[in-house]
Structure 1
Amino acid sequence: MTGLPAIEAAIWQQLARACHDRHHAWRTPALATVDAEGLPEARTVVLREVDAAQRRLWIYSDARAAKVAHLARQPQAVLLAWSPRLHWQLRLRLRVMLHTGGLALASRWARVKLSPSVGDYLSARAPGAPLDDGPTAPPAEERAHFAALEAEVLQIDWLELHRDGHRRARFDRHAACWLQP
């Protein structure tokens, strides 16, 4: 694979594969946001859906998570992924739309509520809340804390580390170009 169009197509194929392959390294990339003080925050997320034609990624979250508050204030983020098998690093610049209601969220919740991860969104305590020794509150009302992050990929920075020479390229909706690694 040598041409920029073939590399970009392979990137999107690997991202789509990561949604369904629990062992793909890109299934759990790091999402970086900016907090209220302007400081960077990063955490591992799970890539849930990829729409290559629309250049969109979907990530699920507890609506009370800090990343949701960060994205409500500043809807830009960076997703960082590394694949040791491919020797590829991706940095994706994103514009994120939050879904806390509506059809887009309801259809995703219908699938999540049948999965083992449903409990991640029904906790009475917000992510990062201090735990005490008191009784655990009952689960929250169904879907009360489920949110979906719809991320438009604005730019992809691709880096291939190879013993015969590294390669780097940038892709966006309008152009692609080679970069110095």
Structure 2
Amino acid sequence: MFSSRIESLHILEAACWQELQRAATDRRHGWRLMTLATVNGDEADARSVVLREARRGPQELVFYTDARAGKVQQIARQPKGTLVMWSRELAWQLRLRVQLSVDTDGPDVAQRWAEVRRTRSAADYLAGVAPGSELPTPLVPERASREHFAVVTARVLSIDWTELHEDGHRRAIFQADHATWVQP
């Protein structure tokens, strides 16, 4: 938590990335669980995803999914999306326009799977049926192989930051090499 309100756009953008990096490792951070909106035909489709990594240099966020999930097909058809997150502690909302890509193979995916397979999260990618499939009972289906584990990279195109504050709400937009204050 910041002791005073940030007035510099440059420092504010750095603070957003600092908080994103913290959220990737702190399970209690409000930004750890993000809402991802993608396009499904002519409708928006939103769901929660867990932030696993934030890289300021290339401006990328990483989360995992089952390669058979509907969002993977949606990303293949339209690779742009929006991530939304809220931190009650900071009273900050972020809306990130992102370019999405999905990897299901290669050394980067294998390295991440080596870490995930030792955790309870591994079961999320080992189901014998695709996410959304009907089940005869609510029991966990038989486990399959890791072949369904996928890494999604979201390259941040813009950050729309909003702060809710008793002394007045504020909003700023960060795009490539341009930042500006805007009316909330």
* TM-score normalised by structure 1 residue count: 0.95
1:5 corresponds to 2:10: yes
Whole-angstrom CA distance in 2 between matches of 1:113 and 1:85? 31
Residue 107 of structure 2 corresponds to which residue in structure 1?
Answer: 103
Deviation at 1:137, TM superposition (A): 5.8
Aligned with 1:154 (options 139, 157, 170): 157
1:68 corresponds to 2:72: yes
Cα-to-partner distance string for 1:88-110 (whole Å, 9 max, x where unaligned) = 11000000111011112111111
1:85 corresponds to 2:89: yes
Deviation at 1:176, TM superposition (A): 0.5
Aligned in 2, Cα 1:175/1:45: closer, same or farther, shift over 3 Å? Answer: same
Cα-to-partner distance string for 1:94-145 (whole Å, 9 max, x where unaligned) = 0011101111211111111111111110000111101115x9764212x210
RMSD: 1.5
Whole-angstrom CA distance in 2 between matches of 1:104 and 1:136? 28
**Any idea what SS the aligned residue of 2:18 has?**
helix
Q: Aligned residues, how many? A: 179
Residue 174 of structure 1 corresponds to which residue in structure 2?
Answer: 177
Whole-angstrom CA distance in 2 between matches of 1:2 and 1:138? 54
Whole-angstrom CA distance in 2 between matches of 1:166 and 1:110? 43
Q: Which amino acid aligns with 1:52?
A: R
1:94 corresponds to 2:98: yes
Q: Name structure 1 gaps, 5 residues minimum.
A: none
Residue 46 of structure 2 corresponds to which residue in structure 1?
Answer: 42
Q: Which amino acid aligns with 1:176?
A: A
**Any idea what SS the aligned residue of 1:54 has?**
coil
Cα-to-partner distance string for 1:12-63 (whole Å, 9 max, x where unaligned) = 000000011111010001000011x221000011000010111000010000
**Any idea what SS the aligned residue of 2:173 has?**
strand
Aligned in 2, Cα 1:131/1:137: closer, same or farther, shift over 3 Å? Answer: closer
1:14-29 equivalences under 5 Å are 14-29=19-34
**Any idea what SS the aligned residue of 2:52 has?**
strand
Q: Which amino acid aligns with 1:144?
A: E
Q: Which amino acid aligns with 1:94?
A: V
Aligned in 2, Cα 1:166/1:72: closer, same or farther, shift over 3 Å? Answer: same
Whole-angstrom CA distance in 2 between matches of 1:100 and 1:39? 26
* TM-score normalised by structure 2 residue count: 0.93
**Percent identity between the two aligned chains:** 49
1:56 corresponds to 2:60: yes
**Any idea what SS the aligned residue of 2:90 has?**
coil
**Any idea what SS the aligned residue of 1:109 has?**
helix
Q: Name structure 2 gaps, 5 residues minimum.
A: 1-5
